[in-house]
Homo-oligomer: A and B are copies of this chain.
Amino acid sequence: MQDNHNRDEMRDRIIEAALKRFTHYSATKTTMNEIADDLHCSKASLYYYFPDKGTLHLAVLEKAGEAYFTELQKEADRASSAHQALMDMISVRHAFVKKFCRLELFKTLKDKQLDSTGEAFRQARERETALIAAIIRGGVERGELANCDADRMASLYMLSMMGLRFALSDRAFTDDLSDGEFEVVREWQVQLAEIFIKGLKK
C-alpha cells in the first residue's frame, strides 16, 4: 500500500524546486538533473513522481495558476463595483504575468495546442472569462451596467486585453517582456478597460 501523505509531500517539494528553477531561469533551460540536484536526489526519483517533464511543467503552471485565481477571486469579492473589480483584476494579472513570465506559458501553449496541456489552458481561460462574466453580471444586477450578454462581453473583454499585449510587443508570442513593456501594456489595458466599462453602462 502506498502512503499518499508522503507521496504528495514529495511531489510538492519537486514542484516547488521546479518552480524556483523555472521562474529564475526558464522551463526549457532547466534540466531534470538540475532539479534533482537541488533536491539532493537522483533524476530517476523525479520520474517516480512525474511521468515526464511536460507533466511536471504543467503541475508547476497549475500551482501558479491556482494562486492566481485565488488572488483574483479575493480581489473580485472585495471590489465594490464592476469597474473597480476589473481594474483590480488588471493589477493582479500584471503582477502574476510579470512574476511568472519565465514559466513559458505562451511558448508551451503554442506547441501543445492539442493535447491535455492545451486543454488545461483552455479551461483556465474559460475560468477567467467566467470570473469576468460574473463581475459584469454583478454590475448589471446592481444597475451599474446596462443589460447585455455577459458571457459574450466577457470573452470580448478577455480577447481585447490579451490582444493589447500582443499588439504592443514586437515579439508577440514571447513570454517575458521588459519591465518597461509590461508597464506600457498595463497602461493601455487600464485605458481600454475604462472605455469598455463606459460602453457597458447606460
Per assembly, the copies of the chain total 2
| A73 to B200 CA separation, bound complex (whole angstroms) | 30
A167 touching B163 in the complex, CB below 8 Å, given contacts A197-B199, A198-B198, A202-B198: yes
Name the distance in Å between A199's Cβ and chain B's nearest Cβ.
3
| A156 to B173 CA separation, bound complex (whole angstroms) | 20
**B-contacting residues, A181-202, CB 8 Å:** 188, 191-192, 194-200, 202
Interface size on A, residues (CB 8 A): 28
A192 touching B110 in the complex, CB below 8 Å, given contacts A172-B173, A198-B198: no
B110, B166, B192: the one within 8 Å of A166 (CB): B166
Interface of A is mostly: helix
User: Does A160 reach chain B (CB closer than 8 Å)?
Assistant: yes
Do B191 and A199 touch (CB < 8 A)?
no
| A162 to B, closest residue via Cβ | B167
| A200 to B192 CA separation, bound complex (whole angstroms) | 11
Do B163 and A110 touch (CB < 8 A)?
no
**B-contacting residues, A141-194, CB 8 Å:** 152-153, 156, 159-160, 162-168, 170, 172-173, 188, 191-192, 194
